Copies of this chain bind each other. A is one copy, B any other.
Amino acid sequence: MQLTQFTDIGLRVLMYLTQHQRESLVTIAELAEQFQLSHNHLIKVVNQLVKLNWVESTRGRNGGLRLGIPAHQLHLGRLIRALEGHTPLIECDKAACVLTGSCHLQRILAESLNQFYQYLDQYTLADIVRDPTQSILQQLHQQWATH
């Protein structure tokens, strides 16, 4: 059981954007180099984050990305649930299970997943970038901006 690559990238992008500096926004090129990710993958994820209003995108010469909502208001359960979408933990139809519709596993798994997200909702994006992470992110961005 693993989070999707989409969620993984989404979390990295959001974490990176927590070290916002007014005069130097973050670009897709910067994210691609820092996390060694392809532009294509990143653009799909960033578009989704913009659609959710979690990221603001500004066009133009000094344009770029920044958080659309303060990090301490982005609860991890809500965030990961939205990035993961509604795929169930087990797909009854995938291997055409003879028990589809009769077994009680799907419901119990869905309840357990709710517990998982509820626990995560105790924490926000701000919690996962506490130092030393925040300092490292600032250094990374400064190095990029001055190179």
Contacts and interface: CB of A to CB of B under 8 A. Distances in A.
Interface of A: 1-5, 7-9, 11-12, 15, 34-37, 76, 84, 87-91, 94-99, 102-105, 108-109, 111-113, 115-120, 123, 127-130, 132-133, 136-137, 140
A133 B99 contact: yes
User: Would you call the interface of chain A mostly helix, strand, loop, or mixed?
Assistant: helix
Contact of A11 (B105, B132, B140): B105
Contacts of A111: 119
A2 to B, nearest CB: 6
Contacts of A35: 95-98
Nearest to A136: B102
